[in-house]
């Protein structure tokens, strides 16, 4: 049995959107998958009743506290031990659930990772990655997109490995092309960090490094399947990409490619390099986004993504 934990109280529109998303996911998950909702039992049951869904099809773990989107992440995680995020993470650490998904306070989710499930041995710093659409109809992976705004060369090197493993097993790519985001394609281009990273990546046997990539090529798919950068630059790129979808909608443009930037289609952002599958969704997640976030978590558990990363590090 696969047990997926869901933070029912996390997000700007919780618990309604979370519960509705879980209901939609229930019709698509595998028969052996069980959905466990952490949150206020009465509020969850009310949402189920209003949607005409039998709440008994979920396992509900009642929690009495909520970590709000504006709460201080680390303090809230420690000071609210009966919150849906805290209880969910402790269940994950004790293997009572196999994966945990939340659209709640991102900082609190990352605090939960640090205090409970922790990083896989050998991982210097976990990363947050994001899938984005390519004009050729495929998708690519960008990491880090906000967890570590300052990185050392060995951290970015590991991001190349983590991204390659994710792209291979979650995106179905046999030999993912890994590139380093830079201001030029030449080896000598960039700042001290990118030049040093290039040196240690260029002859690696751990992944298929294809060199530097400039920002104007990352959406083409002609050069790379995985783009590595620090969390500061990665977050800027991610926010700009999200803005592309919003701007096209405001202009009344209905374009197949730009529509693929809709966050709802991707569900959530996986935290890579930790000892259990953890998926973080957008705070404004719609039921559709929550549904995809849950399905993404289920798939990560099913293919044993964490084990595959640990095995690659052992090698």
Residue 81: per-residue pLDDT:
94
Q: CB pairs under 8 A, 24+ apart, for 69-76?
A: 69/11, 69/12, 69/104, 69/105, 69/283, 71/105, 71/108, 72/107, 73/105, 73/106, 73/107, 73/108, 73/110, 73/111, 74/107, 74/108, 74/111, 76/105, 76/108, 76/111
Residue 111: per-residue pLDDT:
87
Cβ atoms of 204 and 312 closer than 8 Å: no
Residue 70: per-residue pLDDT:
84
**CA nearest neighbour of 180 among 214, 141, 135, 130:** 214
- pTM of whole model > 0.85? yes
Cβ atoms of 61 and 91 closer than 8 Å: yes
Residue 85: per-residue pLDDT:
95
E-strand ranges in 160-304 read 177-181, 208-213, 226-228, 268-272, 278-281
Residue 36: per-residue pLDDT:
98
Q: Kindly list the structural domains of the chain, giving each domain's residue range(s) and its CATH number in brackets, ordered by start.
A: 1-120+273-306 (3.40.718.10), 124-264 (3.40.718.10)
CA angle 11, 306, 229 (to 5 degrees): 70
Residue 249: per-residue pLDDT:
86
Rounded Cα gap, residues 128 and 313, in angstroms: 18
CA of 136: how far to CAs of 69, 220, 223, 256, in Å? 36, 7, 12, 12
Q: Which residues in the chain land under pLDDT 70?
A: none
Residue 83: per-residue pLDDT:
96
Both structure tokens of 188:
């000598």
Structural element, H or E, at residue 47: helix 41-50
Q: What digits encode the pLDDT tens for the residues 241-294?
A: 888 888 888 889 888 888 888 777 777 888 999 999 999 988 888 999 999 999
Write down the residue that tokens 């849950």 correspond to.
Answer: 294
Rounded Cα gap, residues 261 and 243, in angstroms: 9
């Amino acid at each position: 049995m696969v047990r997926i934990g869901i933070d029912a109280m996390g997000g700007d529109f919780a618990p309604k959107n979370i519960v509705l998303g879980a209901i939609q996911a229930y019709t698509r998950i595998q028969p052996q998958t069980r959905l466990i909702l952490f949150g206020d039992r009465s509020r969850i049951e009310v949402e189920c009743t209003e949607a005409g869904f039998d709440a008994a099809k979920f396992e509900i773990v009642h929690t009495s506290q909520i970590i709000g989107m504006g709460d201080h992440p680390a303090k809230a995680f420690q000071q609210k031990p009966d919150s849906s995020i805290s209880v969910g993470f402790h269940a994950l650490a004790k293997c009572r659930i196999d994966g945990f998904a939340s659209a709640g306070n991102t900082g609190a989710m990352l605090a939960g990772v640090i205090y409970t499930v922790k990083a896989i041995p050998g991982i210097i710093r976990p990363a947050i990655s994001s899938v984005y659409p390519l004009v050729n109809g495929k998708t690519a992976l960008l990491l880090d997109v906000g967890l570590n705004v300052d990185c050392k060369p060995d951290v970015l090197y590991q991001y190349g490995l983590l991204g390659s493993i994710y792209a291979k097993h979650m995106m179905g790519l046999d030999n993912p092309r890994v590139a380093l985001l830079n201001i030029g394609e030449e080896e000598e281009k960039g700042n001290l960090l990118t030049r040093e990273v290039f040196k240690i990546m260029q002859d690696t046997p751990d992944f298929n490094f294809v060199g530097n990539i400039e920002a104007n090529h990352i959406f083409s798919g002609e050069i790379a399947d995985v783009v590595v950068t620090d969390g500061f630059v990665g977050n800027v790129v991610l926010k700009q990409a999200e803005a592309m979808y919003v701007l096209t909608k405001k202009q009344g443009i209905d374009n197949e490619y730009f529509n693929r930037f809709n966050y709802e289609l991707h569900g959530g952002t996986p935290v890579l390099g930790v000892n259990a599958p953890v998926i973080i969704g957008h705070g404004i997640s719609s039921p559709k986004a929550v549904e995809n976030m849950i399905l993404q978590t289920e798939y990560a558990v099913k293919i044993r993504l964490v084990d595959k990363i640990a095995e690659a590090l052992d090698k």
